[in-house]
Amino acid sequence: MNSNIKWKIDNDFNLLKENLVTRNYKVEIFENSDELIEYFKNNIKKEKVIGVGGSTTLSEIGLIENMIDSGYNVLNRNKAGLSREEKHKLQRAALTSDVFICSVNAISIDGQIINIDHTGNRVSAILYGPREVYLIIGYNKVCWSLDEAMNRARLFAAPLNAKRSEEKYSPPCLKHGQCVRCNSNKSICSVTSIMETCSEKGRIKVLLVKESLGF
């Protein structure tokens, strides 16, 4: 990484961490995803049940596969060959798992976290249920205002998530290549959440990674 870019990311992450801590989150900063994977292995006991949200970030870093190979009890909603009902059963089980891991769509430098969901299973697990929640966030998702974060989630991330799931869904944004703020029953943007604080101090851990992860 260019040293000037690293300097900027370091300063941005330090400011973001300071703001998140005042909002009751626990925050860790990692140089790369390898450090992140080691963190999970050192901080999560293998007997705990781990739920996961749909996430390009998790797929890119190979976290779930790594943890399964290491003997962790993961409710793997992405396992090949699952029926629709089997996947939904795992998603419902994740709501009461010991640990829940996912990413976010955007975060403001002030510490406001934005997510847009299709069914709301990811948002539900983040907000209430699992005793420990880990949010993995690459530097590419940090925005300089709440408005910018909202735009990133809706105008950038949402169409890409629709494209990622085009075999299952066909919202209008796939045709146009951009959000059209539809009210279609095929929309994947059913739930939008803005997290202002962590209501139970330290329950949600924000893990900031100095890499571009997901979309």
Q: Is residue 74 part of a domain?
A: yes
In a domain? residue 173: yes
Q: Average pLDDT in the 83-96 region? A: 93
Residue 215 covered by a domain:
no
pTM above 0.85, yes or no: yes
- Residue 40's pLDDT is 97
pLDDT tens-digit readout, 139-170: 999 999 999 999 999 999 998 988 887 667 77
- Residue 136, domain member (yes or no): yes
Average confidence score pLDDT of the chain: 93
For CA atoms 76, 105, 112, 121, the dihedral sign is: negative
How confident is the model at residue 84, as a pLDDT? 86
Q: Residue 82's domain spans which residues?
A: 3-209
Q: Total domain count for the chain?
A: 1
Sheet containing 142-143: give its strands across: 142-143, 106-108, 113-117, 191-195
Assign residue 135 the CATH number of its domain.
3.40.50.10420
SS3 at position 95: coil
Q: How sure is the predictor about 184, in pLDDT bands with cuts at 50, 70 and 90? A: confident
Does residue 75 surpass a pLDDT of 90? yes
- The pLDDT assigned to 64 comes to 94
